[in-house]
Amino acid sequence: MPRRYEGMAYWEMVSRHMGLLSKVDQVKLRDSTVTVIGCGGIGGAVIEMLARMGIGGLRIVDGDVFDISNINRQIMSSFHDLKLPKSEVTAERIRKINPFVEVEVFNEIFTWDNADGIIGESDLVVDALDNITGRVIASRKSRERGIPFIHGAVHGSRGQVTVFTVNSPSYEEMFRLPSAGCKLTDEVIRKLDGLSSDTPPVLGPLPNLTGCIQSFEALKILTERGRVIEAPRMLNFDLMGEEPFRVIEVPVAKTI
């Protein structure tokens, strides 16, 4: 057992889990590493919840810095941290919250070229990205490695969460992207980039809720408890709608 787990502090930290999780479940969390791509609105919530749940390792990725427009929704941001790297600020906060977690920081934009080195031997990948091209890369790399990819996205008052595995439709198939079944050429990437919204409106609670749900999906996957929201099933929510939460099944045309 690594030295950082010696003593009772770790187990006291997660003691409120007991009764819902077993010690065996908690050890699975403790011995797992999760890559979270993005430290913004969704990613900050995912990272903090995983750390508080006692995850053993976090690989956090973001090449951006905090600016004042982040403060309405990104829990890692503050006026004190403006212009500082999101990944480094996040890592500092997480180490204060949970000194037992091993945090690896990647202060860089996630790309096809660096994806393998970033994901490494992670047990799963969480999508906290703000662009479709990055999601395509992350989903493909996760699928190549046979590890789950937990997707989450928001726009305005609406959000969605689903999990892609080697047994599910792919991210590109489910969302009918022009890259499905294609090599990621410059032309294909330009098409994907054109699908992303530069500055979508968003209300603060929504990305944090989305990240919390994604962290719970991670818990279910790593402990093998509960039914995972696996594609083509997807949790859709509209916090201003008459039916705020519903699980739908997305029709998927398989790519040959």
pLDDT category, 85, cuts 50, 70, 90? very high
Strand spans (E) along the chain:
33-37, 57-61, 102-106, 124-127, 149-155, 158-164, 233-238, 245-249
Of 128, 133, 170, nearest to 148 by C-alpha is 170
Q: Within 10 A of 125 (CB to CB), how many other CB atoms are there?
A: 28
Residue 231 scores a pLDDT above 80: yes
Domain for residue 48, yes or no? Answer: yes
Residues 159, 43: Cα–Cα separation, whole Å:
14
Residue 199's CATH number: 3.40.50.720
Tokens in use for 30?
């403790």
Residue 142 scores a pLDDT above 90: yes
Q: Which residue has the higher pLDDT, 13 or 6?
A: 13
Domain for residue 35, yes or no? Answer: yes
Looking at residue 2, its pLDDT comes to 52
pLDDT category, 4, cuts 50, 70, 90? low
Distances (CA, A) of 11 to 23, 99, 219, 223: 9, 13, 17, 17
Looking at residue 8, its pLDDT comes to 87
Which residues, in sequence order, are CB contacts of 141 under 8 Å at separation 6+?
Answer: 112, 115, 116, 119, 125
Percent of the chain scored above 90 by pLDDT?
A: 83
Looking at residue 1, its pLDDT comes to 44
Domain for residue 2, yes or no? Answer: no
Domain for residue 166, yes or no? Answer: yes
Domain containing residue 67:
21-249
The 10s digit of each residue's pLDDT in 155-188 is 989 999 999 999 999 999 999 999 898 888 888 8
Domain for residue 220, yes or no? Answer: yes
**Mean pLDDT across the chain, nearest whole number?**
94
Domain for residue 104, yes or no? Answer: yes
Residue 211 scores a pLDDT above 60: yes
Looking at residue 255, its pLDDT comes to 56
Residues 246, 176: Cα–Cα separation, whole Å:
21
Domain for residue 96, yes or no? Answer: yes
**Number of structural domains the chain divides into:** 1
Looking at residue 16, its pLDDT comes to 96
Domain for residue 171, yes or no? Answer: yes
Q: Which residue has the higher pLDDT, 202 or 161?
A: 161
Residue 23 scores a pLDDT above 70: yes
